[in-house]
């Protein structure tokens, strides 16, 4: 174990790594409750989605441990799961089988570029401002869904959206859950999001809003979703934009997480490069493809891994511990699938707020940088499309830089993405 994970070389011990893995698991375990609910909105069987979520997280985290030896855990990504369910399936009328096919194809593309120099060209070519704007925009998109599930935001024929009935029990309980999560996180309580979700769900029992059918049982069947992806449908010309969006967001999300976590762990090289980056991205892309075959949206690296790193995790033994814990979580299906939407909604809103915090790092003294980023970010919730926001951001960046006489600052990758986005908008 010491030789394989290089524990001594990294100044750590098995006990430290296992504790770090437990810490990471507790900070991201909310996904086993939240993701099945979002997948159910796309028409996917909640029990199968629960199993797919746990298995995708376990396999993805194990791949990261064994291929790259990083203390980074994987699971179906927040934001991408919302895009899958609400943007693609509900918004575009695409079947969930075809959407899973699009996720699988995006994973193949991700794997291919992870083996080639195109990966660095694309990642390095996208300016930091647009990366920050995309992260914040996905947060806004997720926040809108969370507020809707909470009942705090409802549809309105004149103003499009309006405030819901704030005196109703689900809204009050959900708001209390959000405050609880925020307070526990401020106190640095491990598993704060999970505690908030469970406490909110339990508070709904006296009102008949929560019905618990048990806590522990054998895992549900995976048959309703296993290998149900429709690759032929996903290969149709009309879904190219969807596949590209899954790929681009997955690439940027994982690159950002790898940079942030390896820097915090002290694993980044002095020149700012990430060791074994190719292997880490191969684990991410492999996780995405495996997740699609199991029946869930894109699997990504989790920024919550920073909690385990803070606890001392420095090697893949941390993420391998997370993998084992997700496998054990398979036996909590009755609890996970009984949590109502108003109890998971506070977690969506809280994660949205965390993602929106990326805007603080924008270059606010340069209009050619922050305006395209903000435009793309606010377009995502208002058009209810992550893809549209990303496309508008790239087009605006290239156009504003050109009009400002600074076209030379626009990288070839941005021009390519801007042109592709413009063509997509033009042809509908």
pLDDT digits (tens, 9 = 90+) for 114-139: 776 676 677 677 788 888 888 788 78
Percent of the residues in the chain that have a pLDDT greater than 70, as a whole number: 93
Q: In whole angstroms, give the CA distance from residue 283 to residue 277.
A: 10
Residue 237 forms part of a structural domain? yes
Per-residue pLDDT reduced to its tens digit, 144-162: 888 988 888 888 888 888 8
Residue 410 pLDDT greater than 60, yes or no: yes
Residue 197 pLDDT greater than 70, yes or no: yes
Tell me which of 3-17, 273-287, 325-339 is least confident: 273-287
Residue 362 forms part of a structural domain? no
Residue 372 pLDDT greater than 90, yes or no: yes
Residue 366 forms part of a structural domain? no
Residue 408 forms part of a structural domain? no
Q: In whole angstroms, give the CA distance from residue 298 to residue 301.
A: 10
Give a three-class secondary structure readout of 179-236: HHHHHHHHCCCCCHHHHHHHHHHHHCCCCCCCCCCCCCCCCCCCCCCCCCCCHHHHCC
- Segment 56-73 shows an average pLDDT of 92
Per-residue pLDDT reduced to its tens digit, 42-51: 999 988 999 9
Contact status, residue 32 vs residue 25, Cβ threshold 8 Å: no
Rounded (to 5) percent helix, strand, coil in the chain: 70, 5, 25
- Segment 156-179 shows an average pLDDT of 89
Residue that has been written with the tokens 């054990």 in this structure? 328
Residue 412 forms part of a structural domain? no
Q: Can you read off the two tokens belonging to residue 288?
A: 């995405």
Q: How does strand 160-163 pair with strand 153-156?
A: antiparallel
What domain range includes position 86? 2-357
Residue 23 pLDDT greater than 80, yes or no: no
Q: In whole angstroms, give the CA distance from residue 206 to residue 73.
A: 36
Residue 423 forms part of a structural domain? no
Q: Can you read off the two tokens belonging to residue 349?
A: 């809103």
Residue 274 pLDDT greater than 70, yes or no: no
Mean pLDDT of the chain: 84
pLDDT for 119: 66
Per-residue pLDDT reduced to its tens digit, 246-272: 887 777 667 767 766 776 667 766 655
More confident residue, 298 or 336: 298
Q: In whole angstroms, give the CA distance from residue 286 to residue 254.
A: 12
Percent of the residues in the chain that have a pLDDT greater than 90, as a whole number: 26
Q: Count of domains in the chain?
A: 1
Contact status, residue 79 vs residue 138, Cβ threshold 8 Å: yes
Residue 120 forms part of a structural domain? yes
Q: How far apart are the first and last CA of the chain?
A: 54
- 166 backbone dihedrals φ, ψ, rounded to 5°: -70, -15
Residue 161 forms part of a structural domain? yes
- Segment 358-366 shows an average pLDDT of 89
Q: Read off the pLDDT band of 237 (50, 70, 90).
A: low
pLDDT for 368: 94
Contact status, residue 113 vs residue 104, Cβ threshold 8 Å: no
Burial group, residue 255, by CB count within 10 angstroms (0-12, 13-18, 19+): buried
Q: In whole angstroms, give the CA distance from residue 165 to residue 163.
A: 7
Residue that has been written with the tokens 């900070």 in this structure? 27
DSSP assignments along 55-88, one per residue: HHHHHHHHHIIIII--S--EEEPTTHHHIIIIII
């Amino acid at each position: 174990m010491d030789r394989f994970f290089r524990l001594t070389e990294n100044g750590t011990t098995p006990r430290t790594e296992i504790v770090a893995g437990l810490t990471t698991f507790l900070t991201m375990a909310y996904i086993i409750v939240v993701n099945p609910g979002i997948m159910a909105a796309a028409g996917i069987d909640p029990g199968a989605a629960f199993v797919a979520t746990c298995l995708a997280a376990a396999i993805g985290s194990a791949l990261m441990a064994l291929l790259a030896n990083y203390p980074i855990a994987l699971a179906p990504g927040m934001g991408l799961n919302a895009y899958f369910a609400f943007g693609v399936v509900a918004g575009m009328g695409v079947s969930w089988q075809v959407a899973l096919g699009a996720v699988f194809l995006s994973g193949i593309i991700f794997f291919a570029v992870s083996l080639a120099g195109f990966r660095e060209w694309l990642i390095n070519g996208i300016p930091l401002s647009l990366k920050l704007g995309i992260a914040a925009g996905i947060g806004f998109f997720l926040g809108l869904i969370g507020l809707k599930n909470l009942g705090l935001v409802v549809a309105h024929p004149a103003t499009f959206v309006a405030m819901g009935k704030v005196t109703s029990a689900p809204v009050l309980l959900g708001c209390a859950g959000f405050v609880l999560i925020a307070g526990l996180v401020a106190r640095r309580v491990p598993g704060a999001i999970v505690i908030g979700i469970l406490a909110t769900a339990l508070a709904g029992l006296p009102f008949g809003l929560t019905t618990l059918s048990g806590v522990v049982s054998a895992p549900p069947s995976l048959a309703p979703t296993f290998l149900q992806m429709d690759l032929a449908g996903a290969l149709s010309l009309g879904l190219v934009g969807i596949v590209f969006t899954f790929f681009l967001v997955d690439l940027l999300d994982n690159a950002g997480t790898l940079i942030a976590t390896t820097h915090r762990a002290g694993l980044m090289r002095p020149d700012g490069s990430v060791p074994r980056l190719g292997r880490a991205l191969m684990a991410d892309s492999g996780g995405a493809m495996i997740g699609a075959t199991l029946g869930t949206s894109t699997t990504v690296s989790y920024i919550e891994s920073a909690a385990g790193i803070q606890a001392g995790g420095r090697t893949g033994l941390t993420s391998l511990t997370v993998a084992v814990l997700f496998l054990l979580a398979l036996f909590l299906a009755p609890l996970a699938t009984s949590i109502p939407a108003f109890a998971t909604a506070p977690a969506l809103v809280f994660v949205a707020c965390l993602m929106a915090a990326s805007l603080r790092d924008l270059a606010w003294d340069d209009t050619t940088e922050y305006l395209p980023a903000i435009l793309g970010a606010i377009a995502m919730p208002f058009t209810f499309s992550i893809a549209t926001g990303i496309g508008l951001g790239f087009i605006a960046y290239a156009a504003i830089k050109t009009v400002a006489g600074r076209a030379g600052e626009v990288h070839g990758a941005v021009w390519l993405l801007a042109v592709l986005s413009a063509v997509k908008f033009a042809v509908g």
